[in-house]
Structure 1
Amino acid sequence: MRLTILAPLVAALFIAFTQPAQAERVDSGVPGMLFDHDVPVAMNDGAKLSINIYRPDKPGRYPVLMLMGPYGKDTTMADAPAYRTSWAKLIAKYPDLCKKSSCRYIRFEAPDPERWVPSGYVVIHADVRGAGASPGVLDPFSPRETQDYATLITWAAHQPWSTGKVGLLGTSFQAINQYQVAALRPEGLAAILPWEGAFDQYREIAYYGGILNVAWQFWWEHQVVPNQNGNAGTPLIDSIGGGKDTGLPLSQERLKDNRIDPVGAFARHPFDDAWYHERTPDGRRITVPLLDVANWTDWSTQGYLAAASRQKWLRIQTGDHLTPFYSDQALALQKRFFDHFLKGIDNGWEQEPRVAVQVRHRDGTTWRNEKAWPLPDTNWEPYYLDAASGSMGPTFEAAAPAAKSWPGLGEGLTFTTAPFVNETEFTGPVALRLWVSSSTADMDIFAAVRLIDPEGRDVTFMGNSDPNVPLDLGYLRVSHRAVDPANSTAWQPFHPHVAAEPMTPGQLYPVDVEFMEPTSIVIPKGYRLALTIQGTDFGYGPGAPIVHAKDYDLPDDSHSGLFFAAHPNRDPALYGGTDTIVTGGKHASYLLLPHVPPRS
């Protein structure tokens, strides 16, 4: 069972909806905007979440935009150590941003109330249980947290200043939990706009291809724990009242007891079990209007594909996941969506193309409207690998059988196409079928699809969380190689991840590598594609020959994207063996690419 085990929510869950909570009215400093700070709202178990309410300073009922997160509803990006780099990037890209707003109320990955309240919206920002001014146990994405969100949505729908319609808006964490709560179908929820949020808690957050993702440890320690309720030592400053906004101080022992370390929890649950099922929504229960804004590098078309909503739209963009959210173009898109579904304005939104993709080129991007996802006229082309020559391409289907090995924890293998003789577009999901063996009982596969210029240099792109990424990344722990045919397609294998099947050393196995995200690239004439297969994190080390799709000052990095695999569960004795790939004949290994015909 999925999150639906919590639904339908019983009437007792929603208590005292028509009774406004006590508010601390603060002078917002913004003409026409009322600001109620640290409003306590009771949950069904008696605990209280602390929320901020921003609303128009005139009588009436207004639709509500809401988000709930762990980062601090009163913490500005400019003042938080973990967010200063993000803030600097944002201001560098949009130097006039704070001329359109005081920027006093912009929070990390959250909408700016000053740009919504004048348009006739109430904006509510809540601290999740256990974070900021909300006491309790901090347990990200837990069923308890999702229940809280559902309670808060229905509470807002019953307030005297509310029309009864609530929409959800935010990025990353505040997009992931939109999917979760939408599956509970709380009263009042009318539309969601998850901006670059994961859907599948096992496959997109905890484990990539069955390999534990420890990148979350940095997120936990640097972005979440500093804002834990009771953390008197937090470096975060309450931008509203000064001082700290983490409630009454708690001892270090109590603080530790009051938080659930997600990476520790992931490690205790190596398979897609009931723990993840409680945190991964049942898409069949998501029926509200939905606009999913995804990114080619990390998060996610999965929510769009899973949701049962009859009114759903998908936009896939490139670039980092923070700055585009605050652009004028993004704000206009967000307002058109919510104006239609929360205010009932006939603004032509229903004629908006159901799918729009930002196609990547060597030196820029172009937006294109499409009818469906994956693109209906995609030609799925296998690029066969040849271990003898290190080449790949459609013509190697008939290549003679060959094999090549690499050290599991060392440098891997790279297969390269011939230079493309014509400009060629690949836009869509990517798949990889390999025949492999190992000298040990398991092996990890890290795959990177790369664009190579005529001088042999990598062309890299700005990613969701990394300014230096290849075209696509795939992962698989070979003991997790089992595939569920009923839920798989040729371009998207589905691994159940419910048990480990050790390898017999020296035995050959067919495996399908998971690429959770699609890709998009128009390959210029004379450029090549490369596929790197290795047993460690893929990244661009010091001195790597790189050119960038944009002129960025980029750091060297040992890994790309939101994934990092270094962890004790990668025992060198098990994952440091000699790994082998076999190609040709009855053991054809190939990269399946989504070729898109030229558009007229």
Structure 2
Amino acid sequence: MGKRTGAALLAAVVTASGLALAPAPVRADEPQDVVVQERFTTSDGVELQTTLTSTGPVTPKPTVVEFSPYGRGSESLDVSADYNFLLVQIRGTGDSDGSFDALGPRTQADVVEVLEWACQQPFSDGRLALNGFSASAITLYNSWHLELPCVKAAILKSGTHELYRDLLVPGGVLNLLPGAGVLALIGAPALLQGLDRLQRDPGSALDVVGGLFATGLNVLAHPTLDEWWQQRGWRGDANDIPVLMVNGFYDVESRGAFEAFRALRADGAHLVMEGGHDGVPAGTDGGAAEAAAWLDHHVRGIDNGIEDAPRVSLTLAQGSRASYLAGEHVTVTADDWPVPGTTWTELALASGKGLSPSVPARRTTASYLTVPSLPTMTDVPNTSLLEASGLSALTGALPLLAQSNLASIDGLTGQSFTTAPLGSDVDLAGPVTLDLELATTTPGSGIWAVLSDVAPDGRAHPLTVGRLSTSFPGVVEERSLTDDQGRVVQPYGDYTNPSPARLGQFRRYQVELWPVGNRFRAGHRIRVQLVGTSLASPLALPGLHTLRLGGPDGARLRLPVLPGSTLDLP
């Protein structure tokens, strides 16, 4: 059971007054899907469009529920005939009425009300499961502080733990591309289904259009992590629901899955890093088999051993995203995240473009202009999203566009620091931190750091990125992750109150690079580049940045080395 075609949607119709099933074509050798449409009225009078899909006649079964802003036919999980599937178009999207509130408090209340209703319907046997991908997963993460009735398990793919920090304003730098893309993806089905809405309730169109427009303005109007954003992020766990998280290291929302797992691991969560928006690598199924087993065990009570599977499964690249998608990868399993036994190895950035375990005694500086950079070379999360949508045809034909070699001109529009060739393979998996003292000419400019795998032939493939506005030097210490030496290895930036930099003032910045997942092979090198902000973040101001190298306050990179690996550098 997957996405529904227009013909399937005509197989059955439900109105508020009761069932009015239209007979679907029946083959003698295969049960047919029955699709039932019904409008659900929320406590504030807004009508939401729901679509129930059942293989064969509608009978009480465990029911998987997905809340989607992407209109009809946007189910994102195939389930067996043992389940019904209920798609709910959230308010202000698709064919639902009301005003879109950017997955905020009113949408969260709708989630609870719909689940209470669905649990009591004739199609439900009282056991519900949740499914979500991207925005539909975000809707659920945002609602987890509310008690979610009748829910036995959940499968959440991609999605943010904090919408501000994980997608739209990472590091306090506005990430315009995915924000605009999401609104377009939500607005398109709302427009296409607008004729139905106008025929049913002409006045509701104003609410829908107004909500989408207001969401775009609100993102721009709230540059700091204020109450508006806090209502659209993780606010606690009021449930005891086992959740399977599925994502990929290159995903545009990769940070969210890691943080959600840490928040929900006490409830039996599993984390499978095997692809999301960034594509499913060859030789894997993107977590589909584990998802099916997850539902069968936690919802239907089938003893299939899924609870004994490793709680964390990480599919690591081996040099580049292109080779990873082609099947060149390795899987590492563990019982927690970050992987127990991980050692954060500190490398110093040095004059002469070196990256070494030895800290240079002599203190120097290096400067560069923050000229906007090409996203395919420096913006790993957004590029993976674009390539999965078709840009891979261009980067495949022009591979230099997907490499970081030409991302900057060293000493002018960027600074690169590279290790010597590695003496042996090393697996890196975990958050990365760049700790540096930096001065800027421009308050509000952005620090943009790219971590790459450099092959022996010189090709450099970006793996992950760190972003931080120079207006946010502070970190929340009690929420930052530290290693056994007390060093911050995943800073939790404080984005509540900006502190604009003064001209030429050196300040300490701890830049969070999203988790890397890569096997660096012997002979390869590790590179970190400081470049201008991506063109996908056009509102970050250009400036001249100067960083300190060497001595006790010189720039340092902390890398997560997995157990069994050694960062073997001369």
Partner Cα distance (1:341, 1:443) in 2:
48
Partner Cα distance (2:88, 2:239) in 1:
22
Q: Contact 1:34–1:55 at 8 Å: present in 2 too?
A: yes
Cα 1:280–1:59 shift into 2, 3 Å: closer
Question: 2:489 maps to what in 1?
Answer: 491
Cα 1:327–1:414 shift into 2, 3 Å: closer
* 1:5-57 per-position Cα deviation (integer Å, ceiling 9, x unaligned): xxxxxxxxxxxxxx986345344547434524331112111222111111243
Cα 1:312–1:248 shift into 2, 3 Å: same
Q: Contact 2:91–2:100 at 8 Å: present in 1 too?
A: yes
Once the 2 structures are TM-superposed, how far is the Cα of residue 478 of structure 1 from its aligned partner? 1.5
Partner Cα distance (2:362, 2:169) in 1:
36
Instruction: Trace 1:203-352 onto structure 2 (pairs within 5 A).
Output: 203-228=165-190, 232=194, 256-297=209-250, 298=252, 299=254, 300-307=257-264, 309-318=266-275, 320-321=277-278, 330-352=287-309
Q: 1:392 aligns with which of 332, 355, 358?
A: 355
Cα 1:247–1:259 shift into 2, 3 Å: farther
Once the 2 structures are TM-superposed, how far is the Cα of residue 253 of structure 1 from its aligned partner? 6.3
Partner Cα distance (1:230, 1:246) in 2:
13
**Bigger mean CA offset, 246-255 vs 202-211:** 246-255
Partner Cα distance (2:285, 2:459) in 1:
35
Partner Cα distance (1:598, 1:216) in 2:
37
Once the 2 structures are TM-superposed, how far is the Cα of residue 294 of structure 1 from its aligned partner? 2.5
* 1:552-589 per-position Cα deviation (integer Å, ceiling 9, x unaligned): xxxxxxx6xxxx2013xx3xxxx333210111112121
Once the 2 structures are TM-superposed, how far is the Cα of residue 375 of structure 1 from its aligned partner? 0.8
Q: Tell me, which stretches of 5 or more residues in structure 2 are unaligned?
A: 1-14, 373-412, 482-487
Once the 2 structures are TM-superposed, how far is the Cα of residue 320 of structure 1 from its aligned partner? 4.3
Cα 1:453–1:308 shift into 2, 3 Å: closer
Partner Cα distance (1:318, 1:220) in 2:
19
Partner Cα distance (2:119, 2:343) in 1:
47
For the residue of structure 1 that corresponds to 2:237, the secondary structure is helix
Instruction: Trace 1:406-417 onto structure 2 (pairs within 5 A).
Output: 406-409=368-371, 411-417=413-419
Paired residue type of 2:457: E
Partner Cα distance (1:24, 1:188) in 2:
27
Paired residue type of 1:296: F
Cα 1:23–1:584 shift into 2, 3 Å: farther
- Same amino acid, percent of matched pairs: 25
Cα 1:24–1:170 shift into 2, 3 Å: farther
Cα 1:217–1:319 shift into 2, 3 Å: closer
Q: Tell me, which stretches of 5 or more residues in structure 1 are unaligned?
A: 1-18, 75-106, 234-242, 460-469, 538-558
Q: 2:89 aligns with which of 120, 127, 139?
A: 127
Once the 2 structures are TM-superposed, how far is the Cα of residue 60 of structure 1 from its aligned partner? 4.7
Once the 2 structures are TM-superposed, how far is the Cα of residue 206 of structure 1 from its aligned partner? 2.3
Q: Contact 2:362–2:550 at 8 Å: present in 1 too?
A: yes
For the residue of structure 2 that corresponds to 1:138, the secondary structure is coil
* 1:409-442 per-position Cα deviation (integer Å, ceiling 9, x unaligned): 3621111111112111111111110110012334
* 1:265-302 per-position Cα deviation (integer Å, ceiling 9, x unaligned): 11111111111121112233343111111221232311
Q: Contact 2:428–2:559 at 8 Å: present in 1 too?
A: yes
Paired residue type of 1:367: T
Paired residue type of 2:546: T
* 2:45 equivalent to 1:46: yes
Q: Contact 2:132–2:156 at 8 Å: present in 1 too?
A: yes
Q: 2:339 aligns with which of 375, 385, 388?
A: 375
* 1:228-268 per-position Cα deviation (integer Å, ceiling 9, x unaligned): 268648xxxxxxxxx99996566986653343443321111
Q: Contact 1:50–1:133 at 8 Å: present in 2 too?
A: yes
Question: 1:597 maps to what in 2?
Answer: 563
Question: 2:549 maps to what in 1?
Answer: 583
Instruction: Trace 1:365-514 onto structure 2 (pairs within 5 A).
Output: 365-386=329-350, 388-395=351-358, 397-409=359-371, 411-459=413-461, 470-489=462-481, 490-514=488-512
* 2:112 equivalent to 1:150: yes
For the residue of structure 2 that corresponds to 1:382, the secondary structure is strand
